[in-house]
């Protein structure tokens, strides 16, 4: 006979896990200058002499809005993902309007990829803003794999990585989680 009692202990734990909401929309970033060709929004800066490579292609940046709420029973804060929150995604040369959870197709300039700012607004919440920068995926993967080799492995890989040209490295953006805090209600403001 099968004993199902252990499942009674495990199922509530699994049911309590919060998974990310599915992406509800995917949009292309819109250049802020109408004359941009092939999504190369930094072509003018490159032509002016800035160290910006040709656009390498495009990446997708995931945008999520997260409410930071206080649990009345425990007094602890808890996070809850919000769906359908309007957000503006902007960077040097492009912008996009989305509703969370969303993905935005943005140009990839490798080491010269610009920071992205995401600003979200929702009734009952203070405006949320988050800025993220592209990170060096190649270097990150190298250092993570070197960590299993101990301190010496990290030092050796760090030296190799420092001497390596970033021109051929893969860069990408982390998921953007914009934290939204509830506005104080009139009752709680008058109690203070």
Contact residues for 80 (Cβ-Cβ < 8 A; gap 6+): 18, 66, 67, 69
CB contact at 8 A, 91 and 117: yes
What residues does 27 pair with on adjacent strands?
A: 104
**Shortest CA distance to 86 belongs to which of 128, 130, 28, 114?**
128
pTM for the whole structure: 0.76
- What pLDDT is attached to residue 191? 44
Residue-wise pLDDT tens digits, 87-114: 999 999 999 999 999 999 999 999 999 9
Element (H or E) spanning 97, and its range? strand 94-99
From residue 141, how far is each of 135, 173, 189 by CA, in Å?
A: 11, 14, 48
Angstrom distance (rounded) from CA 118 to CA 173: 13
pLDDT digits (tens, 9 = 90+) for 142-181: 667 666 666 666 676 666 656 666 677 788 999 999 999 9
Mean pLDDT of 39-62: 93
Domains in the chain (CATH in brackets) are 21-135+174-185 (2.60.40.10)
Instruction: Tell me the C-alpha distance between 186 and 24, whole Å.
Output: 34
> Is the pLDDT score of 6 beyond 90?
no
| Dihedrals phi, psi of 171, to nearest 5 degrees | -120, 155
Is 133's pLDDT higher than 70? Answer: yes
Cα of 77 vs its chain's centroid, Å: 21
Residue located via tokens 């420092």: 162
């Amino acid at each position: 006979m099968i004993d199902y009692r252990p499942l009674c202990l495990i199922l509530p734990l699994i049911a309590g896990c919060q998974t990310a909401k599915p992406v509800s929309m995917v949009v292309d970033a819109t250049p802020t200058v109408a004359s941009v060709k092939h999504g190369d929004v930094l072509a003018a800066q490159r032509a002016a002499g800035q160290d910006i490579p040709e656009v390498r292609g495009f990446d997708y940046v995931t945008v999520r809005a997260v409410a930071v709420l206080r649990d009345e029973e425990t007094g602890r804060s808890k996070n809850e993902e919000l769906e359908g929150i309007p957000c503006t995604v902007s960077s040097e040369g492009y912008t996009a309007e989305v509703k969370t959870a969303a993905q935005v197709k943005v140009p990839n300039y490798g080491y010269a990829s610009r920071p992205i700012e995401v600003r979200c607004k929702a009734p009952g919440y203070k405006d949320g803003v988050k800025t993220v920068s592209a990170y060096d995926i190649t270097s990150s993967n190298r250092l993570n794999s070197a960590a299993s080799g101990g301190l010496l492995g990290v030092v050796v890989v760090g030296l190799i990585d420092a001497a390596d040209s970033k021109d051929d490295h893969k860069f990408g953006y982390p998921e953007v989680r914009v934290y939204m805090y509830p506005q104080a209600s009139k009752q709680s403001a008058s109690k203070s």
